[in-house]
Structure 1
């Protein structure tokens, strides 16, 4: 190992320095997670993340924290249709009960049965494993009226939430 280290040092010392232009155009890659996402948020603390015409819906970290330990989730069934901000379900916690509102209009295509069986997933992983339901969006333009993450973070700092 020592011999290998000495050989590598000598090779590096003897190698000509790479011209500066060799590094032009290279990009650094990082494993640090990017904070901002393409999720959209409502002032009722639901989020929607869209892929094609399918939106995945859940509640925000702020909402799950305010609720406390979620013990029951009543989620909409596939096939049901909702207009934007219609009440579409409910969550109950040890501290409170809260209605769920549909952030965009559409038809429910699936629900997270794991959350129904283990509601605590909402507290543990509200953006990944704790998503609530998926729907096929019927009015994509409604996304324009929702907040992006920066706007939502700013909203949380106001007294309006």
Structure 2
């Protein structure tokens, strides 16, 4: 019998085993069911899930990669005394990239307004859009900016994942 099979067979009496640390005990007794996964993937310790969410890639912070359930999050504003400076470490080059992206986006939208007012040709604006889409609005850059936004938001909000409603299972 393999290691996984022996772990599955040794699940505690209430059937809870953490899908991250594979432990069936929690000193705090704080379990959550963040998604629609079943069996041994159903439960997770709250502290394990919070730790995993802090380290997970952006897409995995939005939905479960196994069952594709989109996590239900609640955002609660922290008291002003608990606000903190976000732990963002940007290199000089990253700051330059952000400034260039911001400037290019500003120029793109300003050019769009000029086009609507008849001060710029559609062809020139289309070329500017092509440049902007290829070099600025890439999926990787947008994910990077979303990650920065999440880091900033966690400095003033407490973000928690709600339990998946068992009645809504398909």
TM-score (norm 2): 0.20
Between 1 and 2, higher relative CO (CA 8 Å, sep ≥ 6) is seen in: 2
Higher strand residue share: 1
